[in-house]
Structure 1
Amino acid sequence: MFRILIVEDDEVITKALCKQIETWGYIGKGIHDFNHVLDEFNEFDPHLVLMDITLPFYNGYYWCTEIRKTSKVPLIFISSASDNMNIIMAMNMGGDDFVAKPFDLNVLIAKVQALLRRTYDFSTVQNNLEVHGAVLNLNDTTLNYENQKIDLTKNEVRILSTLMENSNRFVSRDEMMQALWETDEFIDDNTLTVNVARLRKKLEEAGLENFIITKKGIGYRIAE
């Protein structure tokens, strides 16, 4: 059952959100002490956070930054400060989406469900993928190899999981971009090249040299 933390100082909004969240079978919880949001976040260990920008003591940008130091949990900003500058700041600070107040509860829940689906559904079939002793954990987006834990971006996980699921063959660049299109980012041929290069560098630093090989005009695959 998904747990959703609501960082919102308006009790009416918090109660309405909790009621709507529980209607869909999730667990909703509001913040009690706005001076210690991170402590309550760690204690509740949510699957998703709804974060207002204007809060007592510290604003939502501050708490988002603090959360991002230790967690990649999906986070949706909800705020009446919905000018372009605030939306851009919200995304740059680590937010995954932005919903302007006043909002329709059904629309917000639809966004919550979509983000939960994108973040967690791919792990329900298989939590780990293993090739040549390297274990990709789809739940916490890390690669484990010889007692080392490598943190990966969302795109790097998509690339590596696609290759590991098809480790017996070359995966074309078109297939790879199709997998990456499932994220919210625009992916073109050059972006794929950059992402693969960054991923290779991380793998090499962990001792996995030549883990991903390229065949010009064909695509990528995990080395045999």
Structure 2
Amino acid sequence: MFKILLIEDDATLFAEIKERLAQWSYEVHGIADFTKVLETFILLKPDLVIIDIQLPKFDGFHWCRMIRTHSNVPIVFLSSRDHPTDMVMSMQLGADDFIQKPFHFDVLIAKIHAILRRVYNYNTEQMKLKTWCGATIDFEKNIVSHASGSIELTKNEIYILKLLIEHKNTIVTREDMINSLWNDQRFVSDNTLTVNVNRLRKKLDELDLGRFIETKVGQGYMATEVTPKYD
């Protein structure tokens, strides 16, 4: 899940953008104190920044300069200002795109997809394939391969496994898992989550991997990581 820092002081627009991006599983964060934009950025470490030009205290250009002293994270300006000098200035400061308000949400989302795909190359074979506990997971084909064989998972099972591995060695709460699955329009039932995790663990047992999906009573689940030993 990509983290996006949305630096926008219009509460209504912020809420609408956050809701739209959540439908694409983007994790959107805002600014509580517009005098501490840089501090928020450093703590959050977002994958992309969307920033308005007209902001309280200091404008978007100022914060773009500050962010650029610390990071090359992709930056998109979102502004009602349409003077060519604003667009030129944003590009000179190192922004990746400039979107003028009002805008169509499909355009915003398409641009975000394109920038993240270009910068992080998340659609490559490297991201489709992942290793975990000596096994190779093909997220495109829903197959887990190990020296002892391979298994095929359902879409729900591969999604759960992916979510747990992305947060390996960290407890993922049941609430967070259900919310994530809800945003992905899969299922929300607490009982259904339990059933799917149990099915996933049972399948992984065929490869002696089920033991690495731990149940944390009263909290959630955790995928542990081990370094495989070779004779």
When normalised by structure 2's length, the TM-score is 0.53
What is the number of residues matched between the two proteins? Answer: 127
Letter in 2 for 1:39: E
CA contact (8 A) 2:51 2:75 kept: yes
1:126 deviates by 5.3
Determine the C-alpha separation between the residues in 1 that align with 2:123 and 2:108.
23
User: Within 5 Å, which residues of 2 pair with 1:175-186?
Assistant: none
Task: Say whether 1:5 aligns with 2:5.
Answer: yes
Q: Distance in 1 between matches of 2:56 and 2:32?
A: 11
CA drift of 1:122 comes to 6.2
Q: Which residue identity is paired with 2:8?
A: E
Residue 118 of structure 1 corresponds to which residue in structure 2? 118
The CA distance in 2 between the partners of 1:17 and 1:43, in whole Å, is 22
Q: Cα distance, 1:115 vs. partner? A: 0.3
Question: Over aligned residues, Cα RMSD in angstroms?
Answer: 1.5
**Residues 53 and 78, structure 2, Cα contact 8 Å, conserved in 1:** yes
Please report how far the alpha carbon of residue 125 of structure 1 lies from its aligned counterpart in structure 2 after TM superposition: 4.6
Question: CA 1:123/1:19 → structure 2, altered by over 3 Å: closer, same or farther?
Answer: closer
Q: CA deviation at 1:106?
A: 1.3
Q: Write the deviation string for residues 89-123 of structure 1: whole angstroms up to 9, x where unpaired.
A: 01001111000001111110110010000000169
Once residues 122 and 31 of structure 1 are traced to their aligned partners in structure 2, the CA distance between those partners, rounded to angstroms, is 27
Bigger relative contact order, structure 1 or 2 (CA pairs below 8 A, ≥6 apart): 2
Whether contact under 8 Å (2:117, 2:123) holds in the other structure is: no
The unaligned stretches of length 5 or more in structure 1 are: 128-224
- 1:50 equivalent in alignment to 2:50: yes
Paired residue secondary structure (1:58): coil
User: Percent same amino acid at aligned positions?
Assistant: 43
Query: Greater Rg, structure 1 or structure 2?
Result: 2
Query: Which residue does the alignment assign to 2:35?
Result: 35
Using the TM superposition, give the Cα deviation of residue 13 of structure 1 relative to its aligned residue in structure 2, in angstroms.
Answer: 0.8
Instruction: Report Cα offsets for 1:137-168 as digits up to 9, x if no partner.
Output: xxxxxxxxxxxxxxxxxxxxxxxxxxxxxxxx
Q: The residue matched to 2:6 in structure 1 has which SS?
A: strand
Residues 113-152 of structure 1: matches in 2 within 5 Å?
113-121=113-121, 125=125
Tell me the alpha carbon deviations over residues 24-59 of structure 1, each in whole angstroms, 9 at most, x when there is no partner: 011011111100000111111100000100000000
Aligned equivalent of 1:81: 81
1:186-205 superposed matches below 5 A:
none
Alpha-carbon distance in structure 1 between the residues aligned to 2:89 and 2:125? 35
Segments of 4+ moved more than 3 angstroms:
122-127
SS of 2:57's equivalent in the other structure is coil
- Structure 2 residue identity aligned to 1:91: M
Q: Name the SS of the counterpart of 1:98 in structure 2.
A: strand
* Distance in 1, Cα, partners of 2:41 & 2:123: 23
1:71 paired to 2:71: yes
Distance 2:16 2:27 in 1: 13
User: 2 CA distance for matches of 1:123 and 1:40?
Assistant: 29
Alpha-carbon distance between aligned partners in 2 of 1:122 and 1:106, rounded to the nearest angstrom: 20
TM-score, reference length from structure 1:
0.55
How many Å separate the matches in 2 of 1:63 and 1:24? 27
Extract unaligned runs of 5+ from structure 2.
Answer: 128-231
Amino acid at match of 1:77: F
